[in-house]
Structure 1
Amino acid sequence: MTRFFTILLAVWCLTAYPAEAQLSPGNSTSAALLTGLFNDYWEGRARLFPLVATSQGDNRYNDRLPNDQTRAFRQQQIRFYRRYLNDLLNIDRARLRADDKLSYDIFQYEMRSRIEGLRLNTWMMPFAQFYSLPTTLSQLGAGTGAQPFRTVRDYDNWLARVGRFPVWADSAIGNFRQGARTGVVLPRVLVLKMVPQLQAQVTADATKSLFYGPITRLPANFSEADRARLTAAYQQAIASQLVPTYRKLAEFLQTEYLPRARPTAGLADVPGGTEMYRYNVRLMTTTERTPEAIYQTGLAEVKRIRAAMEAVKKQTGYKGSLSGFFNSLASNSKYTPYKSPEEVLKAFRGIQARITPSLPRLFGLAPKSPFEIRQTEAFRAATASAEYNRGTPDGSRPGIFYVPILDATKFNVTSGMESLFLHEAIPGHHYQLSLQQENTGLPKFRRFASYPAFSEGWALYCESLGKELGLYTDPYQRIGALGDEMHRALRLVVDVGLHAKGLSREQAIDYMMANEPISEQAATAEIERYMALPGQALAYKTGALKLSELRTRYEKQLGPKFNLRVFHDEILAGGSMPLAILERRMDAWAARQR
């Protein structure tokens, strides 16, 4: 969420040339006007959000870190989005081709959603344990992420960027304080997780810092003068800027903010929280469904999947209860065969090898971008889930499937390893995100768009393709896949329960543990994630149900004319978009097939 961090160094010009020149009807056709607007918007967006630009391989602003914690920056964003919305509405949609109408509709949805969100007081809770600029900087500064460290200029860019971190942190503290005065505060249990994350970057020896990593890997072609200068500059930045700032944030949260944090879990417990949650639900599901309707869908899905689990349990010959079956899987040492993180990673590579021969039957399109499987870095593994980080469009940085492995000897093979790979890696996020950003025929705002209901919905839908890809051949992997599906169904219940129905953190943890094979530690981490990111967890099941609904609809409508591979390619070809717009697009595709 996608979500990012910025400080203004000077008055920023939103346009490369006057808006009047772009929109004068005598200057161009509607299509050309639309293209000019999209290009202009993308350039402005990169300047406004340079960290996002870096993550997408646009390195022009790698030295910038605008202060997104200020009121002035929030107002600037509103002006920015309003300007482009107004420009869009001055273009005659009726005169556009079908593809341009699709882009028009997505862009209009995007501008209106962003403007609406900026009216809320979520800025009073600047970050939490699951999303934060301090954590993002740690990933970038380690030298293994999106921030490049190949040239002397790259190294100097990073120094300039982190030099603005102390000002950002002061503004974030100011926003936390405003929230504390008005009651818009984070749950206490989340703050307790945030403090050690920050303290982990506090060290008396700069050479032991995570941020010193790029210096240990200075390119061999750097001159001795540059090597000496950069080494001294990085030690100075760590000692005088980074470490003091992380220490200051940790001490503020520990001593001043924690006593004022709330004991409750849900967003409804802060002033304006109900409105915030309803907005998050709309944003994350890209639907107008109410929290209550989503909650009821969750209950129905939990009931359906539980029945499927009972059937698999019976297939294995286990005679006890479903919870007893879960416990037997968790406690039997034959399901925890790994001795090292490398063995776990090797097992995931084996899954990739097994599905590779079957992929061409289900997909005509395949990404050009390289792909890797890596262990999650130690500094963030304790609070991280398995995840996919997209690569760059030019392939210079691969797409990476990260697996947190705190203790390889406890990594359970029945935990849904196959379904996890289908979701986070191939054909889930790697196919969808890579094909989208490789599609140069899309406007850039669509090439790099991310609507969670689409992207997470697609990834969850891909879990249902396991049998067609040669997986789920034994009941223990099938129970793992059902566990993952149940996990996303439970999210509909507990997320709405936490933020709209008064469910406590402890009740939510108990509910998850009663309905899926999950440890208390894992259930706690999940529930605290939903507390930090209200509504985000609703996207998965909402999107997957829509995609499955569309597949079933077209299978019935088209009969023998339905081609699953063509269906998948069409879904992916347009990139991420709101579900209602996707449905209109796919209905038009189905009509053409007839």
Structure 2
Amino acid sequence: MIRTLWFLICILVFNSCKESSKREVAVDKKPIEAIFTEFYEFKKSINPIEATKAGYSKYNDTIANYISDDYILHLKDRYTYFLQELGKYDATQVSAEDYMSMRVMEWDCAVKLEGVMNPMVTVASPIYDLPSFELMPLFQIQSLHLYVAQLAGGTSVQPFNSIKDYTNWLSRLEDYLAFLDTSIENMKIGMDKGVVLPKVLTLKMLPQVRAFVDVPLEENLFFQPIMNFPDGLSDADMDILKSDYEDFIQKKLTPKYVELNQFLTHEYVPACRDTDGLLNLPNGKDTYQYLIKLHTTTNMTADEIHELGLSEVARISKEMETVKNEIGFKGDLKSFFSSLRNKKELMPFSKPEEVIENFNAINDRIALRIDSLFALTPKAGFNVRRTEAFREASASAEYVPGSKDGSRAGIFYIPITNVKSYNRVHDEALFLHEAIPGHHFQLSLQQENNDLPEFLHPESMGVFVEGWALYAESLGKELGVYTDPYQYFGMLSMEMHRAIRLVVDTGIHAKGWSREKAIQYSLDNEAESEESIIAEIERYMATPGQALSYKIGQLKIRELRTKAENALGEQFNIRAFHSQILDSGSLPLVLLEEKINRWIVGPSK
């Protein structure tokens, strides 16, 4: 990874501050709690939607233009500042809990600063040594234009309970228009520099944009809050809001979508590349190595992760063979995959509501045993909900945390594109992952933990969050599910899915694999439908490195549990172990390992 001179100077300054804090008795520094508070305010300000998601209303009227030069320069300045402030402390000057929080903050600031210090990030820079994601700001999944549309419907995290809420949203949309303007500008620069999306991803994005071009006002997702006013608004207020929303959608928003559609269709698509991975962009190998560090909190190389993935695929395949034979299937594993994709008994639903009811029934069964594994359980509730239609075709199942004050429950979204072909083979494992004891437990407990600084309440650290959720899938037998061998095979299939990610993500971005090769590798090794696999492979193409976090995190948690079981023997307490994992917020894996090692030596009684 190329470093700029300025980055080296910042690191030297940071290290100098750390050394001087040890030598000097009197250091001009703030209380550590004040730094934590300041850092969290900064985090909310740079990601206002996440602040809304956490239940903070201060930034409900804005969206950060995170691909602009000013935004990136601001990040450089503030991350450097916070590292300097942290450098004034050492372990002797704060509590053990605060020192752990300091180290999480230090890791976050350092890795984010490393990402923005490179000139590839600053659009105004004439030096494009690395491919810039600011030049590829829109894609077909996990993109801001999709998230904004999700908020627009009025059933997600954006509140629509008062006149202020309604006007906040219009103000936020003004910022969104500025983001789209910057996106088009940046993508044009990317076209000049050869830093563009794969054509196949852009083609998948076109219907998402066109969905807001030729749609009647009453059916426009952005108009739905007007179609569903809350109680308490006067007729006069509703008339004013209706007029304001009509004007905004017809005179500003729709024309911007028309402009974006025209640009993508007639200018961008012809300039898109036919290659698939970062390896095909300038210095893509180095960019990918940074993304591995960002998403796994490790210094593993792409080759190491690729080999680990191959090993895990082989291990899980053997266990799959055992279950297949127990079921009595006579063909090979690949034939069994095919049979599962088309087995009518695994597609029993005729209405989307029946899918939701099945997940609620799984919840009821798990509730009977959850206390045997967990001393900590969240106060927050959650709901199972179908994914909105406009994004359902490209969406995966996901969990959105509830608000911090409990006024909004967590939501487990499940896409049901065709209920007649919806296959329930993964449902128990999927519930364990997304809901209980996976994301809902971990994220809610993290958010409700008043002993943590507030900056540790939001999601963060995907390797921990996703690693925990994948580990949670393995707890099914202990929680009274997986009694059906097909559901247990579904769990193995989901673990295999994450192991395959290690192979195909590194294959695409570090080894020159084509999209087609990655799709075929997945088809050969898992029971997912071809449609689902294609969507997943294209997700990895759009978000390099993110999919590695699941298996890397899960393997570390499982490794630490095995180590604790072996070291403590009969003294090992699974409820206490899970509390240790969950009571410090999301941790980089090196800090999680240090914590569990200390607990093994002297676990809390």
Q: Mark yes or no: TM-score above 0.5.
A: yes
8 A Cα contact 2:459 2:465, kept in partner:
no
1:256 correspondence with 2:267: yes
Alpha carbons 2:463, 2:552 under 8 Å: kept: yes
Shift of residue 520, structure 1, vs aligned partner: 1.2
Q: Deviations over 1:249-298 (max 9, x none)?
A: 12211111111111111111111211211111011111011111111110
Residue 167 to residue 358, structure 1, CA distance change in 2 (3 Å): same
Partner residue of 1:100 out of 87, 98, 123: 98
Q: Displacement of 1:362 after TM fit?
A: 0.3
The aligned residue for residue 77 of structure 1 is 75
- Native 8 Å contact 1:51 1:62 kept in 2: yes
Q: 1:464 aligns with which of 453, 470, 474?
A: 474
Structure 2 residue identity aligned to 1:113:
V
Q: Of residues 495, 498, 519 in structure 2, which corresponds to 1:485?
A: 495
Partner of 1:110 in structure 2? 108
Structure-2 separation of matches of 1:503 and 1:352: 40
Secondary structure of 2:447's aligned partner: helix
CA distance in 2, matches of 1:172, 1:43: 26
- What is the aligned counterpart of 1:520 among 507, 526, 530? 530
TM-superposition CA deviations, 1:162-206 (whole Å, max 9, x none): 123222211111111111111111111000011111111223532
Select 1:504's aligned residue among 511, 514, 532. Answer: 514
Kindly indicate whether the alpha-carbon contact (under 8 Å) linking 1:54 and 1:62 is maintained by their aligned counterparts in 2. yes
Letter in 1 for 2:83: L
| Alignment check: 8 A CA contact 2:376 2:579 kept | yes
**What is the rounded CA distance, in whole Å, between the counterparts of 2:172 and 2:358 in structure 1?**
39
SS of 2:368's partner is: helix
Rounded to whole Å, the distance in 2 between the matches of 1:212 and 1:169 is 19
After the TM superposition, which of the residue ranges 173-182 and 330-339 deviates more from structure 2?
A: 330-339
Q: How far did 1:44 drift?
A: 2.7
5 Å matches for 1:182-581? 182-203=193-214, 205-414=216-425, 416-581=426-591
C-alpha contact 2:295 2:461 (8 A) present in aligned 1: yes
Report how far residue 57 of structure 1 moved: 0.8
Opposite residue 509 of structure 2, the aligned amino acid is H
Output the CA distance in 2 between the equivalents of 1:521 and 1:327: 13
Q: Are 1:207 and 1:235, in contact at CA under 8 Å, matched by a contact in 2? A: no
Q: After TM superposition, give the deviation of residue 52 of structure 1 in Å.
A: 1.9
In structure 2, C-alpha distance between the alignment counterparts of 1:501 and 1:225, rounded to whole Å: 62
Query: 1: CA distance between counterparts of 2:244 and 2:169?
Result: 11
Aligned AA (2:228): R
Contact 1:125–1:186 (CA under 8 A) maintained in structure 2? yes
Distance (whole Å) between structure 2 residues aligned to residue 205 and residue 488 of structure 1: 41
The alpha carbon displacement at 1:474 in A equals 2.1
**Equivalent residue for 2:63?**
65
Distance 1:137 1:75 in 2: 24
* Cα distance in 2 for residues equivalent to 1:107 and 1:471: 38
What letter is aligned with 2:328?
G
SS of 1:169's equivalent in the other structure is helix
Counterpart pick for 1:87 among 80, 85, 88: 85
* Mapped partners of 2:300, 2:92: distance in 1: 29
Mapped to 2, the partners of 1:27 and 1:548 lie a distance apart of 42
> Does structure 2 retain, via aligned residues, the 8 Å contact 1:389–1:400?
yes
Query: Across the two proteins, how many residue pairs are aligned to each other?
Result: 568
CA distance in structure 1 between the partners assigned to 2:236 and 2:484 by the alignment: 61
Q: What amino acid is aligned across from residue 420 of structure 1 in structure 2?
A: L
Residues 443, 459 of structure 2: 8 Å contact kept: no
In 2, the alpha carbon distance for the partners of 1:222 and 1:228 equals 10
- Residue 127 of structure 1 deviates from its aligned partner by 2.0
- Unpaired runs of 5+ residues, structure 2, are 1-23, 121-131
8 Å CA contact 2:27–2:88 kept in 1: the answer is no
Is residue 449–residue 577 contact of structure 1 (8 Å, CA) maintained in 2? no
Q: Percent identity?
A: 45
**Paired residue for 1:44?**
42
Deviates more, 1:288-297 or 1:444-453: 444-453
Aligned position for 1:7: none
Give 2:4's aligned residue. none
Distance 1:468-1:534 versus aligned 2 partners, 3 A rule? same
Q: Deviations over 1:374-431 (max 9, x none)?
A: 01011100000011011111111111110100111101122x1111110011110000
Tell me the SS of whatever aligns to 1:66.
coil
- Counterpart-to-counterpart distance in 2, 1:588 and 1:403: 39
Deviations 1:101-160 (A, max 9, x none): 101111110111111111242211112111222111111111111111111111111111
1-side partners of 2:438 and 2:205: how far apart?
30
RMSD: 1.5
Q: 1:204 and 1:517 mapped to 2: Cα distance? A: 37
Change (3 A) 1:310 1:209: same
Q: TM-score, normalised by structure 2?
A: 0.92
Q: Distance in 1 between matches of 2:148 and 2:257?
A: 11
Taking the aligned partners of 1:122 and 1:343, their CA distance within structure 2 comes to 40
Instruction: Report deviation, 1:449.
Output: 4.2
- Supply the AA of the counterpart residue of 2:405: D
Residues 163 and 237 of structure 1 are in contact (CA less than 8 Å); yes or no, is this contact kept in structure 2? Answer: no
Gaps of 5+ in 1: 1-23
Comparing 580-589 with 131-140, greater Cα deviation is found at 131-140
- In structure 2, how many angstroms separate the alpha carbons of the residues matched to 1:38 and 1:61? 19
User: Displacement, 1:69?
Assistant: 2.3
SS in structure 2 at match of 1:397: coil
Deviation for aligned residue 1:25: 7.6
Change (3 A) 1:519 1:95: same
Partner-residue secondary structure (3-state), 1:100? helix
Rounded Cα–Cα distance in structure 2 between residues aligned with 1:345 and 1:25: 61
Tell me, yes or no, if the aligned pair for 2:52 and 2:59 is still in contact at 8 Å.
Answer: yes
Q: Give the conservation status (yes or no) of the 8 Å contact 2:457–2:585.
A: yes
Counterpart amino acid of 1:357? Answer: L
Tell me how far apart the structure 1 counterparts of residues 547 and 193 of structure 2 sit (CA, whole Å): 27
Q: Distance in 2 between matches of 1:293 and 1:65?
A: 38
Q: CA deviation at 1:244?
A: 1.4
**Mapped contact 1:196–1:250 kept (Cα < 8 A):** no
Contact 1:93–1:104 (CA under 8 A) maintained in structure 2: no
Shift of 1:27: 9.0
Amino acid across the alignment from 1:230: L
